[in-house]
Amino acid sequence: MAEARDIDDLPKNAANYTALTPLWFLERAATVHPSRTSVVHQSKSYTWRQTYQRCRQMASALNKLSIGLGSTVAIIAPNVPAIYEAHFGVPMAGAVLNCVNIRLNAPTIAFLLGHSSAAVVMVDQEIFSLAEEALKILEEKNKGKYKPPILIVIGDESCDPKDLKYALGRGAIEYEKFLQHGDPEFAWKPPQDEWQSIALGYTSGTTASPKGVVLSHRGAYLMSLSGAIVWGMNEGAVYLWTLPMFHCNGWCYPWTLAALCGTSICLRQVTAKAIYSAIAKYGVTYFCAAPVVLNSIVHASPEDTILPLPHVVQVMTAGAAPPQSVLSAMSQKGFRVTHTYGLSETYGPSTVCAWKPEWDSLPPETQARLNARQGVRYTGLEYLDVIDTQTKKPVPADGKTIGEIVLSGNCVMKGYLKNPKANEEVFADGWFHSGDLGVKHPDNYIEIKDRSKDIIISGGENISSLEVENVLYLHPAVLEVSVVARPDERWQESPCAFVTLKPHVDKSDEWKLAEDIMKFCREKMPAYWVPKSVVFGPLPKTATGKIQKHVLRAKAKEMGPVRKKKLTRWICHRD
Amino acid sequence: MAEARDIDDLPKNAANYTALTPLWFLERAATVHPSRTSVVHQSKSYTWRQTYQRCRQMASALNKLSIGLGSTVAIIAPNVPAIYEAHFGVPMAGAVLNCVNIRLNAPTIAFLLGHSSAAVVMVDQEIFSLAEEALKILEEKNKGKYKPPILIVIGDESCDPKDLKYALGRGAIEYEKFLQHGDPEFAWKPPQDEWQSIALGYTSGTTASPKGVVLSHRGAYLMSLSGAIVWGMNEGAVYLWTLPMFHCNGWCYPWTLAALCGTSICLRQVTAKAIYSAIAKYGVTYFCAAPVVLNSIVHASPEDTILPLPHVVQVMTAGAAPPQSVLSAMSQKGFRVTHTYGLSETYGPSTVCAWKPEWDSLPPETQARLNARQGVRYTGLEYLDVIDTQTKKPVPADGKTIGEIVLSGNCVMKGYLKNPKANEEVFADGWFHSGDLGVKHPDNYIEIKDRSKDIIISGGENISSLEVENVLYLHPAVLEVSVVARPDERWQESPCAFVTLKPHVDKSDEWKLAEDIMKFCREKMPAYWVPKSVVFGPLPKTATGKIQKHVLRAKAKEMGPVRKKKLTRWICHRD
């Protein structure tokens, strides 16, 4: 087969192969649309030419401080231009970007900065003292062998000038001054190898110990394009930053927007009013939002809304299936909601409930039921399935048989940093194991039934807490709900519902409300699914708005085993 | 720096890395939209489920014949479903697809099939005897050591049944029967290495010896997505096949359409009437067309048009800058023309004249002038520049200094098959050398001034034949024009214009017409640019509609050196 080999005897060379990296997108945007607005924040606005120069300055300034290949640069900031710029400037220096959740407490931040060996910490002026506290903890833990990171403070005209002054007094370098150290014409280099790490992000989430998710240039490139393709996002999109960029690199959209030469509208504080006003003011066409944000849009008071919308606004949501009532209300207002699913480990959403034109004519409840599913794989992900946890074989596409959702392909993380045991588990058998339980419907769309650990096992029967929640969301008094297992003398476990009521609901007789809710459930689900306990109060949430089921599970345990139907008043303690 | 290395000590594994290949797009389309129409041809129409099954059958049937890794499968067919299917079925078998231009003659086809060692030849029934003739030539050339390829004939209901009958009588296997040998559930495998070849295509073109351009799975994947992004092509696009799929793999759009779960409308014969009727009948939103097709749309008789268009139709054109008159006329009819530039060696177009919203308000002539440029790099191409041919340094972005257009990145071919000398030349100094001469404008957009060999050197001064042509296109009598160098006693070379006149033009006095054209030129260009010779008649073209300048150059040479202004009648001979 001498001839046969010929066809492949053409090696890679400098002209036909280069590492995939989203950094080229920025260079292209600055070449094609130098004068177009790249990033807007309050009264500040940058063009692509400026953003490219600023990112090159950042990379150059970092290199001058010997920060480069192998270094980690942490940033603790809300959605301000600096965190957008860091998505390019840090990897252009060859370093890895670690975006830190601004809502974590000092000990956790100390853990992250230590674990990632952050050489530089960029911090928003409002959060400076938190970072300082974290660094103090870190120093104490590493007495003697501690080399403090370079501290950079990001000023913001909309914040209290005292914070900035305080930070500067503590020796922090001002962000704009730092950039000025760098060369705006800096000749950055793409990575030698596209497998090189571009970002590191810690899972916040529902379990105790944060794990460092490491992403590659290759994966970030592919996910950036895939995120545009599945959402039908075109050149020049105007994107509103409601989703924190520190949350899984804003699902890679900082890079997507450069690929599309689009415009980023920053938001420090996410409110329904700010969203409506950005739509009207900047012509926002896209934003991503957790279900809790959709909730606030739907329930916004009339003076905070600008309706009808001047144009269709695309909203991508992930994290939990939005309840039908929310989906319907959003759609009536002119928002088009795309429901996706993913994890930090998959560069953010990597499955999408791809809308079918044939659904357009279905009744709203059916539409919402179909759209609440997790759907199909992104274009950039190669493999998605639901497998039997015992046999490891795909479950039948019957919409009933529960298995674990597994994924594989180029939009799966490189692994957890310094955690071989977790890597071994999560990558077992050639899949990424999501830890989520779901079914595959006859139309090939998958649907989450629960996190493995959120399944309630009552009298040997599995109850999906999610399914119970879905029914509870249909109750007119329920604003938010979370269902967990509570110990049960007779059934080992039984469902316990933690409920936040809508503002307008008369809360004077909670017994009556609880009984009404249970009656509502009895009409709509098998008897053993019906919550035996209902608890009213606000729900504990992570920094990114996820309900902390482990807190509720602990609370349910504390309440002791169920003996008979009873109600317990429970108030959530939040700092 | 032990810590520093940690961040990259996370190897690729089966869950987080797989070879990039456009083949996954097909599997996804069949999973997400199994019932959506994939391909339409005349009265036949397939769904994505069917197309996926048929492609798996093809791969399986090929494997059963020991056609796999290292094999080449040739197809000689117009835009019918079989050539769409071959774009997936052949690489799913591990083999390389070679689409052969149906307008080549038998000796050339014999050369290609021999050079590529085609193990299978699939041929449309109408072209069967041409293929048979080519194989006869090939057999004679390789007497004794010749193993004839497997011959498959593709039937078409719209063609003469006698052709099919003839082919079957000559021992060819019928395409549908061939598919039936294969397993519709065939477990195809993606390539082990994304650098593996997916396709081979021979440059037709303007030079004598065809070169085999080899493309990789990786490049095809990236170009498919890039071709969607730069054109704003969304999920469910309806695409009309005016561009031959045998031409540079239809610029990778067979794969793009699978990524978008879009619909392909096949066209055997490209006419303005057929284009308008497909727009109305199938809701076509996108098609690609050579300038000659745009011309035919603009000049279509009213009974062949359906105007106003029911919706905006996006047209991508490449190959030559469309004249302003054509661009304006297309735009007035509701077509939106995107002008791109590329070569077979760059997976088709890899630069785009990205439209800027700020051009919307400019006068039509200015718009056309701006849009006639070759523009900026595709998202998927990493490097584009114009370099001085001597110093190899980028020319200034002044819109004047001419240099060679060079490209590099992941959308550049692997190389020419069995042609190390050509590879060395074309990949010299780490670039792909396009052989086109151009300038870089102050807005970073590049513009072709000429092919290196098309430059006319008159009295030591360079004249861009393209610039002269651009002016000639403005003349109301000119339909098509090509300008080449003619030997000149005094100036060594001078411009000679070959002109096709518009149908309505009174052709009785060609002397007067030629003088009028020259006068027109004298008003609009430097005197030494003005063609000294004007020749009327049809222009010789390649199979893909490119004007064959080398034929005209030969003709101009034959005419002998210019002594004084004179006219020559010249009739193009075409087979």
pLDDT in tens, B86-113: 999 999 999 999 999 998 889 889 999 9
- For residue B436, give the nearest of B377, B368, B374 by alpha carbon: B374
User: Across the A/B interface, how many CB contacts are shorter than 8 Å?
Assistant: 183
Residue bearing the bigger pLDDT, B460 or B300: B300
> Average of pLDDT values for B167-175?
97
Q: Which of A90-99, A174-183, A250-259, A552-561 has the lowest mean pLDDT?
A: A552-561
Average pLDDT over residues B345-366: 93
Rounded average pLDDT over B297-305:
92
Would you call B234 and A234 a contact, using CB atoms and an 8 Å cutoff? yes
Check whether B572 has a pLDDT greater than 50.
no
> Are both A408 and A498 inside the same structural domain?
no
Q: Given A379, A417, A432, which is nearest B15 (Cβ)?
A: A432
In a domain, A259, yes or no: no
Using the predicted structure, report yes or no on whether residue A571 has a pLDDT greater than 50. Answer: no
- Residue A482 pairs with which residues in a beta bridge? A498
Q: Tell me if A229 and B259 make a contact (CB, 8 A cut-off).
A: yes
Measure the N-to-C terminal CA separation of chain A; round to a whole number of Å.
71
Is the sign of the CA dihedral B154, B159, B165, B170 positive or negative?
negative
Pairing, β B238-240 against β B348-352:
unpaired
> Are B178 and B282 members of one domain?
no
Interface contact B225-A225, CB threshold 8 A: yes
Q: Are residues A78 and A170 in the same domain?
A: yes
Nearest CA in chain B to A378: B28
Higher pLDDT, B207 or A337: A337
Integer-rounded Cα radius of gyration of chain A = 25
| Closest listed residue to residue B321, CA positions, set B291, B342, B301 | B291
The better pLDDT of the pair A349, B452 is held by A349
* Minimal C-alpha gap between A496 and chain B (Å): 36
- Mean pLDDT over A65-83 rounds to 97
**Mean pLDDT, residues A82-89 taken together:** 98
User: How large a percentage of chain A has pLDDT more than 90?
Assistant: 70
Q: Do the chains contact at A117 and B12, CB–CB below 8 Å?
A: no
| Distance of residue A50 Cα from the nearest chain B Cα, in angstroms | 15
Nearest CA in chain B to A357: B236
Same structural domain for residues A471 and A402? no
Residues A324-373 pLDDT 10s? 778 888 988 999 999 999 999 999 999 999 999 999 999 988 988 899 89
Is the CB of residue A286 less than 8 Å from the CB of residue A240? yes
- In a 10 Å sphere around its CB, with 0-12 CB exposed, 13-18 middle and 19+ buried, how is residue B312 labelled? exposed
Q: Rounded distance, CA B480 to CA B470, Å? A: 10
DSSP state of B373: S
Shortest distance, CA A295 to any CA of chain B (angstroms)? 28
Mean of pLDDT values over B438-442: 96
Location of structure tokens 């011959």: B151
Nearest-Cα residue of chain A relative to residue B259: A379
Same domain, B279 and B338: yes
Q: Where residue B305 falls among pLDDT bands split at 50, 70, 90?
A: very high
How high does pLDDT run on average in chain A? 90
Q: Is the pLDDT of residue B2 over 50?
A: no
CATH number at residue A139: 3.40.50.12780
- Tell whether the model's pLDDT for residue A567 goes beyond 60: no
Confidence of residue B528 (pLDDT cuts 50, 70, 90): confident
Instruction: Judge contact between B353 and B318, C-beta under 8 A.
Output: no
Total domains in the fold of chain A = 3
Is residue A13 in a domain? no
Q: Which two tokens stand for residue B329?
A: 């006329």
* Three-state DSSP state, B328: helix
Q: What is the pLDDT of residue B152?
A: 98
> Is residue A27 in some structural domain?
no
CATH classification of the domain holding A532: 3.30.300.30
Residue of B nearest to A235 (CA): B232
CA dihedral A64, A65, A68, A74 (to 10 degrees): -130
Q: What is the DSSP string of A245-284?
A: TTSHHHHTHHHHHHHTT-EEE--SS--HHHHHHHHHHH--
Domain membership flag for residue B253: no
Query: What is the reported pLDDT for B460?
Result: 66
Whether residue A393 has pLDDT greater than 60:
yes
User: Residue B265 contacts by C-beta under 8 Å, 6 or more apart in sequence?
Assistant: B40, B238, B239, B240, B241, B278, B282, B284
Q: What is the pLDDT of residue A15?
A: 97
C-alpha closest to that of B243 among B289, B205, B189? B289
- Compare CB distances from B28 to A71, A379, A414 and report the shortest one's residue: A379
Mean pLDDT of A49-60: 98
Examine the fold and report which residue of A421, A452, A483 is the final residue of a domain before the chain moves on. Answer: A452
Structural domain of A131: 35-214
Q: What is the pLDDT of residue A355?
A: 94
Give the Cα separation of A17 and A12 in Å (integer). 6
Q: Is residue A564 part of a domain?
A: no
One-character DSSP codes across B161-201: HHHHHHHHHTTPEEHHHHHHTS-TT------SSTTSEEEEE
Say yes or no: B490 and B406 in one domain.
no
How big is the CA angle at A249 (ends A247 and A250), to the nearest 5 degrees? 70
Domain-embedded: residue B237? no
At A413 the three-state DSSP class reads coil
Of A17, A200, A444, the CB nearest to B31: A444
C-alpha angle A490-A496-A498 in degrees, rounded to nearest 5: 165
pLDDT attached to residue B574: 25
DSSP per residue, A94-110: T-EEEE--TTS-HHHHH
pLDDT digits (tens, 9 = 90+) for B130-164: 999 999 999 999 887 878 999 999 999 999 999 99
Rounded to a whole number of angstroms, the distance from the CA of B233 to the nearest CA of chain A is 8
* pLDDT given for residue A326 in this prediction: 83
Whether A154 is covered by a domain: the verdict is: yes
Instruction: Give A510's pLDDT tier (boundaries 50, 70, 90).
Output: confident
**Per-residue pLDDT tens for A446-500?**
998 877 778 787 876 778 788 888 889 889 999 999 999 998 887 778 899 999 9
Among B346, B347, B345, smallest CA distance to B417 is for B345
Q: Which residue of A has its CA nearest to B201?
A: A7
Round to whole Å and give the CA distance between B291 and B6.
55
Check whether B569 has a pLDDT greater than 70: no
Cα–Cα distance between A25 and A255 in angstroms, integer?
A: 7
B211 and B274 housed in the same domain: no
User: pLDDT digits over A165-213, tens only?
Assistant: 999 999 999 999 999 999 999 999 999 999 999 999 998 644 457 899 9
- pLDDT at position B9 is 82
Whether the CB-CB separation of A293 and A265 falls below 8 Å is answered with: no
Q: What is the pLDDT of residues A258-278, one digit of tens each?
A: 999 999 999 988 999 999 999
Residues B446 and B462 in one domain: no
Judgement on whether residues B444 and B510 belong to the same structural domain of the protein: no
pLDDT, average across residues B294-302 = 90
**Mean pLDDT, to the nearest integer, of B307-311?**
92
CB A118 within 8 A of CB A152: no
Q: Mark whether B503 and B397 lie in a shared domain.
A: no
User: From CA B176, how far away is CA B190, in angstroms rounded?
Assistant: 24
pLDDT-based confidence at residue A569 (cuts at 50, 70, 90): very low
pLDDT at A145: 82
Range B420-426 average pLDDT: 93
Of B216, B238, B259, the position where a domain reaches its end is B216
Is B368:B324 a contact under the CB 8 Å cutoff? yes
Instruction: Kindly state whether residue A254 falls inside one of the protein's structural domains.
Output: no
Encode A137-151 in three state secondary structure: HHHHHCCCCCCCCEE
Chain B residues in contact with A25 by the CB 8 A cut-off are: 379
How many Cα atoms are found within 13 Å in the side-chain-facing hemisphere of A445?
18
pLDDT digits (tens, 9 = 90+) for B233-285: 999 999 999 999 999 999 999 999 999 999 999 998 899 999 999 999 999 99
- Please give the share of chain B, as a percent, with pLDDT higher than 70: 95
Q: For A373, phi and psi rounded to 5 degrees?
A: -80, 160
Same domain, B442 and B498: no
Give the closest of B10, B32, B356 to A414, CB-based: B10
- Strand, helix or coil at A554? helix
The pLDDT value recorded for residue B345 is 96
Higher-confidence position of B511 and A238: A238
Q: Which of A10, A31, A116, A405 should be substituted to probe chain B, the one whose Cβ sees the most B Cβ atoms within 10 Å?
A: A10
Which of A187-196, A394-403, B537-546 is predicted with the least confidence, judged by mean pLDDT?
B537-546
Subunit contact B4:A200, Cβ cutoff 8 A: no
A412/B16 touch (CB, cutoff 8 Å), yes or no: yes
pLDDT at A6: 56
First to last CA, chain B: 71
B453-498 per-position pLDDT tens digit: 787 877 767 787 888 888 898 899 999 999 999 988 877 788 999 9
What average pLDDT does the structure give for chain B?
90
What one-letter code names the amino acid at A62? L
Judging contacts by C-beta atoms under 8 Å, the chain B residues touching residue A235 are 229-230, 232, 354
Residues A429 and A363 grouped into a single domain: yes
